[in-house]
Structure 1
């Protein structure tokens, strides 16, 4: 998608959509309808699961082309390979620092609030069979397997295997190679830019089905697990949501202020995507839209293309908070005392095991299983205590991860001195044309 220059536009364009035609309103209405259906007609709600699964499959279908085209055109357009390394270095420094902060905050809150204290559950009485599938997947998540998994079987299989890291790996190599051939690759670069215009139009078409996907996913969640499931472990759920809120408003809000923008404006700007993430419990469902919107908000394509896809595997703030908080909850609930050294060891293992977790439902639970399998002090069987409410916490994990990656993109853009603050203000204030009104995405004239 070509970079959009700021132009003076009326605050309310003459052809602006009515409020009920706006995507975020439709998604919000769909979520509410899904909750009501799942609560009052649980069996019917469970039957709506294919709608949510189908929409997520639609989005996953387009994720690989979006990442590939964005990264390749961004890197090839830069030409300066030292800049690519500089952007990547800054992004990973940001990811490592704030991932650690998220883990530490989760650990501190767990020690202060102690949501599992007083439950006095005997680990021997827990049903470990309930989490056997997650534990089996966790055993496959060794560091060596993770690193080798980044390399695809073939260059083209990276675009079909469904692994963001494989797509990222091939895209970066292809973009660097295209940049190295210089002017000889101009025709290919121009063709890829034209294709990216079509692909982002494809994204706009798919997103029209977002309310249906959000409705189906939410109806299934409430129908299958019931709102009453939250009551049993309400303390842990409330603690997790409050901790995530503190991290987003306190930590990320401070980072945003230091970078010269408002976290609240950014959240408002991404409200449609956030509601979609809430409805589907998957941050991947909004990945293509996040890439598109961050470009519109004044972040250069080269930075967006590197930071957003990489952040989906390496900048999982919500997952990190969840892991330390949930692990200490299990320890407290089963009466296991963890010394400060034990907790630091747990934090260190979580820092490594969290890398590469995808933004899909259940990934955080699998990552937690992998962490507990390495730290013998806390029984893996204790995960059965939170299995019933994990789906509800998955939504908060995904929302926090999503916001964290949006903030990271703006911050790294600013560090690079390529953040267009004027365009950011215009985009967040709604003064730029809507995506479907932009020249490269507009409907053809009839």
Structure 2
């Protein structure tokens, strides 16, 4: 064997090694395998649900301590409580502006593409009463807060972080919390090796349970939502990043593993711990990441905002309900309030939709039945858009606070 052949062989071997040792490859392969199993062997695919649920449940065990530790350390690490308040107010203002823009874009695109003008004979109505019965009438913001663990932990962590700044032995307490944080993240590192298995189980169950054929009648709505979120990410979020001289494609490449993880599990929570680490490595300060990301998971839900607004207009079109300009403004205003924290409680999307439709008094709440069959398939797009939106918001706040260290990732596999 001559040298050129040997070099080519070694080069090919190195490429294969890099592929098979790449975490992204295994997550993507698991997703494809899950789709194939769910499609060709639906019953087996449904049985795989246990793997996806177990993985997400394990990840959720880390959410509470990570949110608490990062926020407390972030606030106590800043030391200057005025800066904490400034970052918080700046983040909330950004969240409100961008999520409202997402609602307006969702309504606008829904009117342009008219996803609700479809052949109704192809739809199979399901009973939505168990999801929506009494949802609007019994809705309580106090109960909503009490059932939302993320919001509770967020509130307690902020109070604890502020109190720690006035604690006599503040430095000693910070050292202990930093050690605990390191232990938690080390444990998470090993749990993440199960991500391909979780992604496989989630996708196999989804395809096996609902099937590909069930999407045909509502395909237009799905395509409209996906197209809107695509345009929102690349035009709106991309434009915001471009102002700070960062390309959206570079960011997406950098967080591709987290995006694939969310795609497989349909849960943005599964990527919360790792996206925080990625953003810190990117250059965002630990204090900004610790404050913005957890808060954004309840208040900066761009993907959820787009989905909710488009779904309301879709149902109006489906029932041939004419909405006036002021009624549309009312819908957006209601969703601005009800969409906050919608990702924090399982099934809360239907409660938010039911509350909104009941407040409008024009669109039948029973129309939610049309969304049951495809909600699972659109949850991935919602979660991914939420993840990207929160990543962008963290970079924006860090840049505006001059708490962003230019990354040196040129020689790493992630690149940026």
Tell me whether the two structures share a fold, i.e. TM-score over 0.5. Answer: yes
CA contact (8 A) 1:135 1:370 kept: no
Give how far 1:118 is off.
Answer: 4.8
Deviation at 1:181, TM superposition (A): 2.0
Tell me which of 333, 339, 342 is aligned to 2:327.
Answer: 342
Give me the whole-angstrom Cα distance separating, in 2, the residues matched to 1:166 and 1:140. 21
1:188 Cα offset (Å): 1.1
Per-residue CA deviation, residues 380-403 of structure 1 (Å, 9 max, x unaligned), is 101111210111111111110110
Structure 1 residues 403 and 385: alpha-carbon distance in aligned structure 2, compared to 1, 3 A threshold: same
Q: Kindly provide the CA deviation profile for residues 281-325 of structure 1, in whole angstroms up to 9, marking residues without a partner as x.
A: 110111111111111111111111111011011000001001110
1: distance between equivalents of 2:113 and 2:366?
23
State the Cα distance separating 1:17 from its structure 2 match.
7.3
Pairwise mapping of residues 229-244 of structure 1 onto structure 2 (< 5 A)? 229-244=214-229
- Taking the aligned partners of 1:57 and 1:139, their CA distance within structure 2 comes to 31
CA RMSD of aligned residues (A): 2.3
Indicate the residue corresponding to 2:8 in structure 1.
none
Structure 2 vs 1, CA of residues 162 and 108 (structure 1 numbering), >3 Å: closer, same or farther?
Answer: closer
Cα 1:117/1:289, change in 2 over 3 Å: same
Please say if residues 297 and 428 of structure 1, whose CA atoms lie closer than 8 Å, have aligned partners that are also in contact.
no
Deviation at 1:120, TM superposition (A): 6.0
For 1:21, the equivalent position in structure 2 comes to 21
The answer (yes or no) to whether the contact 2:276–2:289 under 8 Å persists in 1 is yes
* CA gap 1:430/1:49 in 2 versus in 1, 3 angstroms: closer
Q: Which residue of structure 2 lines up, in the alignment, with residue 368 of structure 1?
A: 353
Q: 1:24 to 1:363 in 2, by over 3 A?
A: farther
CA distance in 2, matches of 1:233, 1:220: 20
1:440 aligned residue: none
Q: 1:88 aligns to what?
A: 88
Q: 254-263 or 244-253, which moves further after superposition?
A: 254-263
1:195 maps to 2:180 = yes
Structure 2 portions without partners, runs of 5+: 1-13
Q: Name the CA distance, whole Å, in 2 between partners of 1:73 and 1:35.
A: 41
User: Shift in Å at residue 216 of structure 1?
Assistant: 0.4
Cα deviation, 1:214-246, whole Å, max 9, x if unaligned, reads 100100000000011211211000000000000
With normalisation by structure 2, the TM-score equals 0.91
What's the CA shift for 1:139? 4.8
Q: How many angstroms apart in 2 are the aligned matches of 1:285 and 1:140?
A: 30
Q: 1:248 aligns with which of 226, 233, 246?
A: 233
Deviation per residue, 1:88-144 (Å, 9 max, x gap): 0110000000010000000000111111125468x9x955x3342244455554334
> Which residue of 2 is the match for residue 386 of structure 1?
371
Post-superposition offset of 1:259? 1.9
Tell me if structure 2 keeps the 8 A contact 1:119–1:334: no
Q: 1:289 to 1:431 in 2, by over 3 A?
A: same
Q: 1:288 to 1:73 in 2, by over 3 A?
A: same
Match runs of 1:319-338 below 5 Å = 319-338=304-323
Alignment partners' CA distance in 2, 1:308 and 1:426 = 25
Which residue in the other structure is 2:149 paired with?
163
The alpha-carbon deviation at position 195 of structure 1 amounts to 1.3
The answer to whether the aligner puts 1:268 opposite 2:268 as a matched pair is no
* 2:5 alignment counterpart: none
For residues 135 and 384 of structure 2, the distance between their equivalents in structure 1, rounded to whole angstroms, comes to: 24
2:143 to 137, 145, 169: 145
Q: What secondary structure is seen at the aligned counterpart in 1 of 2:246?
A: coil
Q: Could you tell me how far apart the structure 2 residues matched to 1:20 and 1:138 are? A: 50
Q: Which residue of 2 aligns with 1:438?
A: none
CA shift in 2, pair 1:120/1:208, >3 Å: closer
Q: Partner of 1:31: helix, strand, or coil?
A: helix
Partner of 1:299, secondary structure, is coil
Residue pair 2:281, 2:407 contacting (<8 A) in 1 also: no
Partners of 2:234 and 2:227 in 1: how far apart? 10
